[in-house]
Structure 1
Amino acid sequence: MKHFSEISPTAERVVDAAEGLIQQHGYNGFSYDDVAQLVGIKKPSIHHHFPKKEELVAVVAQRYAHRFRSELLSIEGRYAKATDRLTAYAALFEQTFSVNRRLCVCGMLAAESDSLPELVAREVTQFFKVNLVWLTQVIEQGQRAGMLNSKVSAAALAEQFFCALEGAMMVGRGMQSTGGPAIIGPTFIAMLTMA
């Protein structure tokens, strides 16, 4: 599999188109014909860059996860307090959702996990692990500082927060709501800070 940093500008346009299609329709909801139409190239050109759909989607997930990790590092550089980091983290989900109720690429793919090729499933799992480890560390920091509830383990709270944000996107789309993560993020953080 190619690494996303090694692809050509044309292949990057293909990845961009596939990302948007995944966020709207999932893995099984789009074809190379859909990508070709969006990019304005012939289907054989897509196959030249990505012989199999699973390779294309794995690169999409890989690039998405890399950008997300970069955002996590940026949050660490901008905010010292755990609550501020968690607020900025929730804003990442809202940024995605605010564009036509798009969903997290890896969240959307995970909804189809039983039918995903192993190559794609590995990228999705890695994305989830990175997020849960990061959130656990942030919550542990907040608990040590006495800012966050320590009656529940940091790992359990991290998983609940992550699930709440991913779920808020799904429910927000299903309800045709503009709320989504913008409401759930602050609510969950407020619950974490209550004594």
Structure 2
Amino acid sequence: MSETFDKLMDAAENGIRLRGYHAVSFRDLAEELGIKSSSVHYYFRQKEDLGLALVERYAARFFAALDTKVEKAKTPEDRIRAFAELYREALTGSDRICLCGMLGAESCGLPPTLSKAAGEFLQENINWVAAALPKALPSKARHKKAMHIVATLQGGMILASSLKDYGIYDNAVQDLLAA
């Protein structure tokens, strides 16, 4: 779109990943970017529209990066390791948790369409991990294991970010891969 649009999206994503959906306002974003609040409304009629656009962009970027990261993965362990590395890169690159993890934590207070979009991203993560696990496992067991992996990584991101210790995340990944 435009440079202003890209800066707006980046500022909104960073704000939500750091402080949460309700702590980010159009007025704050406009002030941060040095534009008028009406300029934010030019791109997004409502805050919910902004949130949905952020989830869509975040998901597209995440899965594109994941496709690239797993190109050379030969085993289920390699694929899960690549998935966990991508989560870690998201954490260490911004010192913030996953956008959809943050929105998921706030889901009870979000507009229903935004809560659903964040949940769909997390479900896509679970589905991807389940498909990456060994096919010898029964489908139900793969799905259960995938939920455990995604929950552990999301929780590891929260603790690592909160306690300013990436080793917490790394230990969680080590334990997952050892199991």
Same fold (TM over 0.5): yes
Is the contact made by 2:126 and 2:150 (CA closer than 8 Å) also made in structure 1? Answer: yes
* Partner of residue 121, structure 1: 115
For residues 42-61 of structure 1, the aligned pairs below 5 Å read 42-61=36-55
> Post-superposition, which runs of at least 4 consecutive aligned residues in structure 1 deviate over 4 A?
none
Q: TM-score, normalised by structure 2?
A: 0.91
Corresponding residue for 1:32?
A: 26
Q: Indicate how the Cα distance of structure 1 residues 10 and 160 shifts in structure 2: closer, same or farther if over 3 A, else same.
A: same
SS where residue 96 of structure 2 aligns? coil
Instruction: Quote the Cα distance in structure 2 between the aligned partners of 1:99 and 1:112.
Output: 23
1:3 aligned residue: none
Counterpart of 2:159 in structure 1 is: 171
Gaps of 5+ in 1: 1-6
The residue number in structure 1 matching 2:176 is 188
**Aligned-residue CA RMSD in angstroms?**
1.8
Aligned twin of 1:22: 16
Confirm or deny: 8 A CA contact 1:107 1:166 kept in the other structure.
yes
3-state SS of the aligned residue for 1:140? coil
Larger relative contact order (C-alpha < 8 A, sep ≥ 6)? Answer: 1
2:164 match: secondary structure: coil
- Whichever structure has more helix as a proportion of its residues is 2
Gaps of 5+ in 2: none
Q: What is the Cα deviation at residue 180 of structure 1?
A: 3.7
Identity %: 29
Aligned-partner Cα distance in 2 for 1:76–1:98: 19
C-alpha contact (below 8 Å) 2:16/2:102 kept by paired residues = yes
Contact 1:91–1:182 (CA<8 Å) still a contact in 2? no
Query: 2:70·2:82 contact (CA, 8 Å) conserved in 1?
Result: no
CA spacing shift, 1:71–1:100, aligned 2, 3 Å? closer
Match of 1:140 among 134, 137, 152: 134
In structure 1, C-alpha distance between the alignment counterparts of 2:2 and 2:93, rounded to whole Å: 26
Residue 34 of structure 1 and its aligned partner are, at CA, apart by 2.0
Structure 1 residue 184, shift from structure 2 partner: 1.3
Find 2:59's aligned residue among 50, 65, 69.
65
1:11-63 deviations in Å (ceiling 9; x for gaps): 22211110000110110111112211332211110011111111011101110
Is 1:169–1:181's contact at 8 Å kept on the other side of the alignment? yes
Supply the distance in 2 between the matched residues of 1:43 and 1:52 (Cα, whole angstroms): 12
Task: Provide the C-alpha distance between the structure 1 equivalents of 2:130 and 2:167, rounded to a whole number of angstroms.
Answer: 25
